[in-house]
Amino acid sequence: MCDIIERQELDGSTPENPLWKYYIHYQSLNRRMDEWILPTPDRVIELPSVAGAKHRALKAERKKKDDERRREEEKRRQEKEMQILEQEAEEGTRRTRRKKKEEGEASPRPGEPEEEGGFKEGLVNTMAVAEIDEHEGMDEASLREHEEVTKVKNVGKIELGRFCMDTWYFSPFPKHFFGASIDILYVCEFTLNFFTSKSALLRFQSRPDLDRHPPGNEIYRKGNLSMFEVDGGMQREYCQNLCYIAKLFLDHKTLYYDVDPFLFYVLCEVDDRGFHPVGYYSKEKYSDVGYNLACILTFPCHQRKGYGRFLIAFSYLLTIKEEKVGSPEKPMSDLGQQAYKPFWTSTIVDYLVKQGGRSHISIMDISKETSIMAEDIIFSLNQVGILKFIDGEYFISAEEEILEHLAKKHPVKKPFVDPECLHWTPYLTDVKRDKFSIHNKRPTYGGESTSMEVTGEFGSGRGSGSGAMGR
């Protein structure tokens, strides 16, 4: 079943014999599947009836109320669990202090903080990561306006290099480019200039002075993969065009016309014909909230090759070089969540496996080595079921056999990023003022660990569990 969103009259249509094509949305499927179709004998095209529209509206309203009721029930259940955890954590903290007092250890000084970075002592805060909504920040009216403006794709296909791709969503190209809509948009893969005909594209690419690579600096090369860093302030047109193209495949991406504050990292496949872009990610030159990635896209023709994971790993490699911790911009899209969750899990499990017989490992240790923010580490440990809460203390319950099983289940996949092939220097910043620098992370305060330590078979320990990295 599908809904008719729009229709257009075809050439050759007459009042006696009207000919139409229809833009349809398949019910229960993402908008990226919307398409123009022609009525054929095997397709029954009927304008939606008023009764049918009312029935669907009533059904949607009922579903909305059911979803709200389930969310409220889930919220009450989580609040109840949090209260229980708070009570257990408080009791566990009192027992720990009594034990210290009996052993002659000094108690925390009066007025000393017992929480940091918004994480209460003894609580695993994973809600911020688990409940990711790509519509966040858009009220109901804004969402309706967004869907009304973008309900019909204005570009049917895009030809980039050797590939012709169906687009997924509307992109706000300036009207002077091609008017209201176009069937195929031709793009020069080296400069990202747009053309409305193949002949115009070929004429442009025949120029002898045409650079056959992205602008900016090549900062990585290994095998047939190359990465270019492009400054939005210096290559404004290229970066804006890249955003227009990305919007064709990202539904709720905010299109920034001011690209000056951003750096763009363009991944290319290299052959004797030049550098062919396969995807990119962008990030702010400096983020007040510690984001190391703003937008990421692998072009559909190059998906399922591991390039999305490569781009994520590359973003963290640069963060490691900057000696900071970082996290992707929230909220993430559905595809973003699918890419990041396995990356975090495999990276953290790989780190734990390589530690061998270390007796103490903290959240801060993991964060410093991987540059993954503490809340993302906690979320990932909780997701794989090795983060435990016992008597007011947190433990990583991870025997060697469990870690080996997790390493097989969540392997670090190819293509790998080779740090030796990176030729890049980070922007200079005042480390003392940069709260995301690992040099500003205090492993202890008041003599008590703020990060989760592990001992025992693989380890156990106590602490707030948050590590407070990136706060």
The confidence score (pLDDT) of residue 459 equals 39
Burial of 407 (0-12, 13-18, 19+ CB in 10 A): middle
The confidence score (pLDDT) of residue 176 equals 85
User: DSSP 3-state assignment of 70?
Assistant: helix
| Contact residues for 114 (Cβ-Cβ < 8 A; gap 6+) | 93, 108, 121, 464
The confidence score (pLDDT) of residue 139 equals 60
Rounded alpha-carbon distances, angstroms, from residue 125 to 193, 384, 390, 420: 46, 15, 16, 36
- 384-403 burial, b at 16+ Cβ within 10 Å, e below that, comes to bebbebeebbbbbbbeeebb
Q: Name all contacts of 403-409 with Cβ < 8 Å and 24+ positions apart.
A: 403/349, 403/352, 403/353, 403/458, 404/353, 406/345, 406/349, 407/349, 407/350, 407/353
- 42-68 burial, b at 16+ Cβ within 10 Å, e below that, comes to eeeeeeeeeeeeeeeeeeeeeeeeeee
The rounded average pLDDT for each run of 10 residues, N- to C-terminus, in the chain (471 residues) is 77 79 76 74 57 66 77 72 61 58 48 38 38 49 64 90 94 85 95 96 95 97 98 95 94 72 97 97 92 95 95 98 93 82 96 82 88 92 84 74 91 95 83 65 42 41 35 29
* CA separation for the pair 167, 204 (Å, rounded): 24
The confidence score (pLDDT) of residue 168 equals 92
The confidence score (pLDDT) of residue 208 equals 92
Which helix (H) or strand (E) segment is 87 a member of?
helix 50-102
Tokens of 448: 């008590």
* CA separation for the pair 51, 57 (Å, rounded): 10
362: left (phi over 0), alpha (psi -120 to 50) or beta: beta
For 467, phi then psi, to 5°, come to 75, -20
Q: Active site includes 329?
A: yes
Q: Which of 189, 322, 329, 375 is catalytic?
A: 329
Listed in sequence order, the DSSP H helices in 267-373 are: 307-321, 334-354, 363-370
* CA separation for the pair 87, 81 (Å, rounded): 10
> What global pTM score does this model have?
0.71
371: left (phi over 0), alpha (psi -120 to 50) or beta: left
Tokens of 246: 């990305």
